[in-house]
Amino acid sequence: MSIANLRTETAKTTFAHLPVPSQREIIYMGYTHYWTRRDPEEWSMAWPQVVVCAKEIIKAAREKGIVVIGLHKDDPIVNEEEIVFNGDPSHETFHLSKRLPDFDFCKTARKPYDAVVTAILLCAAVLAEEGIRVSSDGYWDDWSEGREIVQELFPEFQLAPKLIDN
């Protein structure tokens, strides 16, 4: 028996008692949104508006029953420097800042606060189209709850699939 076959057989017997996740569970566990810095100057100019949008989005989401919490189950951080929150149920903490890093991401596993994350990223993409590039493991249809929140609050925003890369 080759070493590769031996490893495979050992893994099968060692982990045989563990349930095998379904394809749906695997997709949900890894469901992630990404953003990269493009034009720091445009991002900096748009940032105050992004903060205003985030405050309104979080308020609207809570009114819809989506639980949005801070790092210690307190209030989310939304200020002139950063936007930081999670959900309950939680997954990874969303962190968007004025000093946008070259690359960042948030894995939501499609939990309810995903609608808040996508809504804020959509607003950021509208307000600073050349300042930030947003992409996702999801497709335009997967962002429907976030789009709904944005359209209710900011009907003047032109939302289109081109705002996110897949």
Cα gap 146→117, rounded to integer Å: 7
Query: Which pLDDT does position 129 carry in this prediction?
Result: 93
On the 0-12 / 13-18 / 19+ scale of CB atoms within 10 A, 1 is exposed
Q: Is 94 inside any structural domain?
A: yes
On the 0-12 / 13-18 / 19+ scale of CB atoms within 10 A, 80 is exposed
| Residue 24 pLDDT greater than 50, yes or no | no
Cα gap 21→38, rounded to integer Å: 37
Domain coverage including residue 114: 23-165
Q: Is 45 inside any structural domain?
A: yes
Query: Which pLDDT does position 17 carry in this prediction?
Result: 56
The pTM of the full predicted model, rounded to 2 decimals, is 0.83
Total of domains in the chain? 1
Q: Is 80 inside any structural domain?
A: yes
Query: Which pLDDT does position 30 carry in this prediction?
Result: 80
Q: What is the DSSP letter of 137?
A: S
Query: Which pLDDT does position 13 carry in this prediction?
Result: 55
Q: Which residues pair with 87 in a beta bridge?
A: 68
On the 0-12 / 13-18 / 19+ scale of CB atoms within 10 A, 149 is buried
Distances (CA, A) of 23 to 19, 28, 29, 66, 136: 13, 9, 10, 26, 18
**pLDDT 10s digits, 59-116:** 999 999 999 999 888 999 999 999 999 999 999 999 999 998 899 999 999 999 999 9
Q: Is 14 inside any structural domain?
A: no
**pLDDT 10s digits, 121-151:** 999 999 999 999 999 999 999 999 999 999 9
Q: Is 8 inside any structural domain?
A: no
Q: What is the DSSP letter of 97?
A: E
| Residue 18 pLDDT greater than 60, yes or no | no
Q: Is 15 inside any structural domain?
A: no
Q: Would you place residue 25 in the very low, low, confident or very high pLDDT band (cuts 50, 70, 90)?
A: very low
